[in-house]
Each structure stands twice: as C-alpha cells, then as structure tokens.
Structure 1
C-alpha cells in the first residue's frame, strides 16, 4: 500500500480572514451610502459616517500595531 506524504506549504504573507472581509464590506457599504445621490434618511447617512470613521480609526490602530511589531523585531 502506498503512503502519501503530506508536504508543508510555505506560509502565505497575508490570507484574507473573515474579519478582514467583513471590515472591507462594511467600508465599501458605508462609502456607497455616504456618496449615494439618492436622498436617504439622515440617521442612515449619519450611521454610515460614524461607521466609516470607526473603520478608519481601526485601520490606523492596526497599522501602528503592525509597524510596532516590525520595529520591535528589528531592535532585537
């Protein structure tokens, strides 16, 4: 009987996770709502603006954490 040998793949740089896809979808949806030429209820537009702001802050924090990890690795 032949045995199959499983090989280990090289790690990918950055796989898109469910979290990343949800973040990206929310960002696109909020941008579409804000830029839509159709008159939407003010609460919907305001919520989309706050969501876009929150996603921007989240991106900035995640980016600084990634940069901080890279800088910590270089110092060692």
Structure 2
C-alpha cells in the first residue's frame, strides 16, 4: 500500500507542476493534468473516508463486545 501512496503523490505533484507551469503548454496536456489531479483527489477522499469508517466500525465492535459481556 505504501507504493500506491508514493505513486499517487508523484502523480499529484506532477499534475500540480504542469497546471501551474509558467511555460505555455499544450491545452491537452493541461487538461489531462487537471483530470489526473481530480481523480487523485477523489481517490484520496475515498481512502480517508474508508479509514475513518474503519475506525468507527472498530469502536462500534468494541462497544458491542462490552454489551455482550455484561448481559
């Protein structure tokens, strides 16, 4: 999973550099960089939601275990 994060970070950095480049680049190159940045942003948002959801599920599971022991 660490390799995937490094790839995402590299693509994100490259897309940002292309988007903010002071040099006149072809329109298609900038458009592709914007789409890449958008997709990576979505993937990171989904990944952070999944991690947050996993933490909530673990907490909920621990709370349910505590209830079972008292009954």
CA offsets 1:53-72 (integer angstroms, 9 cap, x no match)? 00000000000000000000
Q: Stretches of 4+ moved more than 4 A in 1?
A: none
TM-score (norm 2): 0.83
Number of residue-to-residue matches in the alignment: 61
Of the two structures, which has the highest relative contact order with CA contacts closer than 8 Å and spacing of 6 or more? 2
Q: Distance in 2 between matches of 1:67 and 1:36?
A: 35
> Which structure 2 segments of 5+ residues have no match?
62-71
The alignment yields a C-alpha RMSD, in angstroms, of 1.0
Q: Distance in 1 between matches of 2:57 and 2:6?
A: 28
